[in-house]
Structure 1
Amino acid sequence: MRKFIDIGANITDAVFRGLYHGSQKHVSDFNAMLGRAKETGVEKIIITGGSLEDSRNALELAKSAENLFSTVGCHPTRCNDFEKDHAYLDELIELAKSSSKIVAVGEFGLDYDRTNFCPKETQLKYFETQFGLAEATRKPLFLHCRSAAEDFTKLMKQYRDSYSTGVVHSFDGSWEQASTYLDMGLYIGINGCSLKTEERLDVVKKIPNDRLMIETDCPYCDIKPTHASYKHVKTFFESKKKERFEETKQVKGRNEPQNIVQVLEVIAAIKGEEDVDHLASQIYENTCKVFFQ
Structure 2
Amino acid sequence: MHVLIGCRVSLNRHMYSSDMENLGKMFFRSMATYRKKFVDIGANLTDRVFNGFYHGSAKHKDDLQIVLKRAVNVGIEKIIVTSGCLSDVEEALKLVKGTDNLFTTVGCHPTRCTEFEESPSPDSYYESLAELIKTNKDKVVAVGECGLDYDRLHFCQKDVQKKYFEKQLQLAADFNLPLFLHHRNCHDDFREIIFRNLHIMPKRGVVHSFDGTMEQAQFFIDNGFSIGLNGCSLKTEENLEVVKQLPIDKLMIETDAPWCEIKQSHASFKFVQTKFPSVKKEKWNESSIVKGRNEPCCIVQVLEVIAGVKQCNIDELADVVYSNTVNMFFSHLDQ
Bin for the TM-score computed over the shorter chain: over 0.9
Q: 1:51 maps to what in 2?
A: 85
1:112 is displaced (CA, Å) by 0.3
Q: 1:277 maps to what in 2?
A: 315
Q: 1:202 maps to what in 2?
A: 241
Q: 1:9 maps to what in 2?
A: 43
Matched, 1:104 2:138: no
Matched, 1:93 2:130: yes
Q: Residue 69 of structure 1: SS of its match in structure 2? A: strand
What does 1:15-34 correspond to in 2, within 5 Å? 15-34=49-68
Quote the Cα distance in structure 1 between the aligned partners of 2:163 and 2:304. Answer: 39
1:84 is displaced (CA, Å) by 1.1
Q: Residue 256 of structure 2: SS of its match in structure 1? A: coil
Matched, 1:167 2:206: yes
Q: 2:13 maps to what in 1?
A: none
Letter in 2 for 1:122: V
Letter in 1 for 2:126: L
1:131 is displaced (CA, Å) by 1.5
Larger Rg: 2
Greater than 6 Å deviation, 4+ residue runs:
none
What does 1:136-155 correspond to in 2, within 5 Å? 136-155=174-193
1:162 is displaced (CA, Å) by 2.2
Quote the Cα distance in structure 2 between the aligned partners of 1:103 and 1:97. Answer: 12
Give the superposed CA RMSD: 0.7
TM-score norm. by structure 1 comes to: 0.98
- Which 5+ residue runs of structure 1 have no aligned equivalent? none
- Which of 85, 94, 103 is equivalent to 1:60? 94
Letter in 1 for 2:247: P
1:64 is displaced (CA, Å) by 3.8
CA deviation vs aligned residue, 1:128-185 (integer Å, no higher than 9, x gap): 1112211211101100000001111110000002222100000000000000000110
CA deviation vs aligned residue, 1:237-288 (integer Å, no higher than 9, x gap): 0011001110221111000000000000000000011x21110000000000
TM-score norm. by structure 2 comes to: 0.86
Matched, 1:72 2:106: yes
Letter in 1 for 2:218: S
1:212 is displaced (CA, Å) by 0.2
Q: Percent identity?
A: 55
CA deviation vs aligned residue, 1:44-66 (integer Å, no higher than 9, x gap): 00000100110111111111421
Quote the Cα distance in structure 2 between the aligned partners of 1:127 and 1:14. Answer: 27
Moved more, 91-100 or 197-206: 91-100
Quote the Cα distance in structure 2 between the aligned partners of 1:162 and 1:266. Answer: 36
Quote the Cα distance in structure 1 between the aligned partners of 2:204 and 2:264. Answer: 34
Quote the Cα distance in structure 2 between the aligned partners of 1:32 and 1:175. Answer: 38
Q: 1:268 maps to what in 2?
A: 307
1:101 is displaced (CA, Å) by 0.7
What does 1:97-136 correspond to in 2, within 5 Å? 97-99=134-136, 100-136=138-174
